[in-house]
Structure 1
Amino acid sequence: MIVTLIVVCEVGFWVLLAAGLATRYLLKMPRTGLALLLCEPLLEVLLLVVTAIDLKNGADPSWRHGLAALYIGYTVGHGHRTVKWLDGHAAHRFGGAPPPVKPPRYGMARARHEGTVWLGSVTAAAVASGLLLLAAWYVGDDGNTESLRSWIFVAWRAAGIHGLIALSYAIWPKKAPKEAPEHDPGKTREKAPGKASAVPARDPEDVPDLLVGRPREDEEQVR
């Protein structure tokens, strides 16, 4: 039942998101669309309540309850960024707004961006850990809470791996590709300096008279 509800919540998240954006920008009803978007957290609250009821009814804590806690934590840590990203693209595509600013791709700016995203994973791990500890306390010492506590390690291990990936962008910043030099087809190629011409210049006096059209001396005497 818990796994089925997680799937239903995930599908409902995207259905509400699509309905909210369509109502806000296609139907030109921004308040109604915003109200639909604000209903997103109710899905996580529903999942939390059902999980608590399942434990209260005597269900043994299992990986299903741990997965539910991780799902709620992930939605809290990263859900708002997903909604904001899609809302910006919808506003540009259907609302005439300027295109959303793309995240940086190179240098320390990319490292800071990755660090911000990693903070979302830390938030997700913290929320999931809090829910799992609360569930373990709710079950008490009489129940088997080891499966719940093991998911706390899973949550922080995922956040740690993400943190190492984000840290790599700060240690080895990604460099921007070098721009190719512009080619000017109208620019003539300059002659290489210090290079002599293939045909040396000659003094006109050294050129035979017949080639330059000057009368020979014997013709001048006849005249």
Structure 2
Amino acid sequence: MIVTLIIICEVGFWVLLAGGLALRYAAKMPRTSVAVLLCEPVLEVILFVVTAIDLKNGAEPDWKHGLAAVYIGYSIALGHYTIKWVDVRVAHRFAGGPPPSTPKYGTPRAVHEWKIAARWVLAALIAMGLLQGAVWYVGGDGDADSLRMWQQRMLWLIGINVIIAATYTVFPKKAPAVRDDEEKPSFLSRL
């Protein structure tokens, strides 16, 4: 039941996102779009409550409960960022908005990668906190090894994201050099 609910929440996330953006850009109803997008956190609350009820009713904690905690952590830490990321691209593609601007080179790119890593670290810490709460909730009588396994995976997730961000800091990607003596191709020459 938990896996089905996680899938429903994930599909619901994208349906609400698509509906909210359609209301904003196609129907020109920005306030209604905000109301729809604000329903996103309700999905995580439902998932959290159902997972807690499942554990309270005596279900053995397993990978499904761990996955629910990870999903909730992701939604809290990266849900808003994901919505903004999609919104900018939809606005550019369908509503004449400015193109997305993700830095590609040097220090700005490293700063961007550290911000992304911080979001993932926050998601992992939230998931680890929820998992620890579930371990305490189950108590010493229950088998909480699968929940602890998910906590270890979250430590790996933190490590991987920090390593990725660090590589952009230590080995920054440099912008391609354009020489002044090179003739820049005109628009017509590219046709």
Alpha-carbon RMSD: 1.5
Aligned partner of 2:189 in structure 1 is none
Counterpart check, 1:27 vs 2:27:
yes
Structure 2 CA distance, aligned partners of 1:81 and 1:115? 14
Q: Which has the higher contact order (CA 8 A, sep 6+)?
A: 2
Aligned partner of 1:72 in structure 2 is 72
The answer to whether the Cα contact below 8 Å between 2:24 and 2:30 also exists between their aligned partners in 1 is yes
**CA deviation map 1:82-122 (0-9, x unaligned):** 1001112233344443334x111111111111000000011
TM-score (norm 1): 0.78
Counterpart check, 1:111 vs 2:110:
yes
TM-score (norm 2): 0.90
Counterpart check, 1:54 vs 2:54:
yes
Bigger CA radius of gyration: 1
Aligned partner of 2:90 in structure 1 is 90
Structure 1 residue 79: deviation in Å?
1.4
The answer to whether the Cα contact below 8 Å between 2:121 and 2:161 also exists between their aligned partners in 1 is no
Aligned partner of 2:172 in structure 1 is 173
Structure 1 residue 174: deviation in Å?
0.7
Aligned residues between the structures:
183
1:108-187 equivalence runs, <5 A: 108-180=107-179, 181-183=181-183
1:62 aligned partner, one-letter code: D
Identical-pair percentage:
59
**CA deviation map 1:177-202 (0-9, x unaligned):** 11154339xxxxxxxxxxxxxxxxxx
**CA deviation map 1:112-153 (0-9, x unaligned):** 110000000110011001101111111111111122122111
Gaps of 5+ in 2: 185-191
Aligned partner of 1:191 in structure 2 is none
Structure showing the higher helix proportion among its residues: 2
Structure 1 residue 78: deviation in Å?
1.5
